[in-house]
Amino acid sequence: MFLLHRRLPSLARTTFLCNSMEPAVTATTSSFGGSSRLAALAQQLRLYKPPPSSSFDDAEETQADQETAGKVVSQVGLQESMAPILKDPERFKPKRAAVLICIFEGDDGDLRVILTKRSSRLSTHSGEVSLPGGKAEEDDKDDGMTATREAEEEIGLDPSLVDVVTSLEPFLSKHLLRVIPVIGILRDKKTFNPTPNPAEVEAVFDAPLEMFLKDENRRSEEREWMGEKYLIHYFDYRTGDKDYMIWGLTAGILIRAASVTYQRPPAFIEQCPKFKYPKMVEKHTCMP
């Protein structure tokens, strides 16, 4: 192990076979350090496509949206009277960011994901557990480049070691960042030696991906937003002599990533809020 110190679409619509005879891209075990499991996972995940992004071009949806515009409450918890997003879309349009869900095969054959503990000196989310990632830059050609570039800056992960296989539906952070989770597979964990940037990262560690589907070492807190009740999930994780809490946006993304990877829903109730999304935020953007 590394240690340095919504409406969501139904899984029934995204069921894939790891041993598919016609993968979109053929992966070989030699590409993944001899791991047949990672090769099969790469084939499976390359077939996954998130719900198509919609700008509400469909006339019927657009009409419905316009008819209810006076009653719509934005996904970020602000009423239109407080944030006139329909009158001035650019004021609400969220900035784009991407995070890397970097999966590798552990010594026991389990799938694990690389996580970081943010520096306590940061102005936002200091000391919290997060996925490597950050805001998109003008030169980034796609979300995969954003996620891998940020991972290299934060933890020294060479992008050439990661096979980017798919992206999940976007999530909207409380700071109005439209976060795209990018799933990448670390071809050979032995080639990666974490070197965290001390200005941003306090520790680098990994956790079993499947834990985000289990109702163990998990608790939740019910909240109400815009008349809808929803749950915030907290996962407690201990590795070595360190204890970590994974919650909020990071937990929501990892629950979704684990569901797609293992092709099954979590063993607990997610209870995501059901919002009517304004035109400027694509309707498949999730708010955990």
Task: Establish if 231 belongs to a structural domain.
Answer: no
Q: Give mean pLDDT, residues 18-26.
A: 39
Rounded to whole angstroms, how far apart are CA atoms 144 and 160? 12
- Per residue in 204-222, pLDDT (tens digit) is 999 999 999 999 999 999 9
HSE-CB at 273 with a 13 A cutoff on CA atoms is 26
Return the residue matching tokens 């289990």.
Answer: 214
Does residue 259 carry a pLDDT above 50? yes
Task: Establish if 200 belongs to a structural domain.
Answer: yes
Q: How many domains does the chain have?
A: 1
Judged by average pLDDT, the poorest of 29-43, 114-128, 153-167 is 114-128
Judged by average pLDDT, the poorest of 57-61, 127-131, 235-239 is 57-61
Task: Establish if 208 belongs to a structural domain.
Answer: yes
257, 181 Cβ separation under 8 angstroms = yes
Domain containing 206 — which CATH number? 3.90.79.10
Return the residue matching tokens 């340095």.
Answer: 4
- Per-residue confidence band for 278, with pLDDT thresholds at 50, 70 and 90: very low
- pLDDT mean across residues, the chain: 77
Q: Give mean pLDDT, residues 21-45.
A: 76
Structure tokens at 138: 């003008």
Task: Establish if 130 belongs to a structural domain.
Answer: yes
Task: Establish if 269 belongs to a structural domain.
Answer: no
| Signed CA dihedral, 124, 129, 133, 136: sign only | negative
- Per-residue confidence band for 29, with pLDDT thresholds at 50, 70 and 90: confident
Does residue 174 carry a pLDDT above 80? no
**What is the DSSP code (8-state) at residue 19?**
T
Task: Establish if 21 belongs to a structural domain.
Answer: no
- Per-residue confidence band for 33, with pLDDT thresholds at 50, 70 and 90: confident
Please list, in sequence order, all residues whose beta carbon lies within 8 angstroms of the beta carbon of residue 90, skipping any fewer than 6 positions away: none
So what's the pLDDT on residue 151?
98
Task: Establish if 16 belongs to a structural domain.
Answer: no
Structure tokens at 199: 């200005």
The domain in which residue 190 lies consists of: 93-213+250-262
> Which range has the top average pLDDT, 50-59, 183-192, 270-279?
183-192
So what's the pLDDT on residue 89?
52
Strands of the chain, DSSP E? 95-105, 111-118, 129-130, 133-135, 162-167, 171-172, 177-186, 201-208, 218-225, 228-239, 242-247
So what's the pLDDT on residue 91?
53
- Per-residue confidence band for 26, with pLDDT thresholds at 50, 70 and 90: low
Does residue 149 carry a pLDDT above 60? yes
Rounded to whole angstroms, how far apart are CA atoms 106 and 144? 23
Q: What is the pTM of this model?
A: 0.76
Task: Establish if 179 belongs to a structural domain.
Answer: yes
Judged by average pLDDT, the poorest of 61-65, 155-159, 168-172, 194-198 is 61-65
- Per residue in 224-238, pLDDT (tens digit) is 866 778 899 999 999
Does residue 275 carry a pLDDT above 80? no
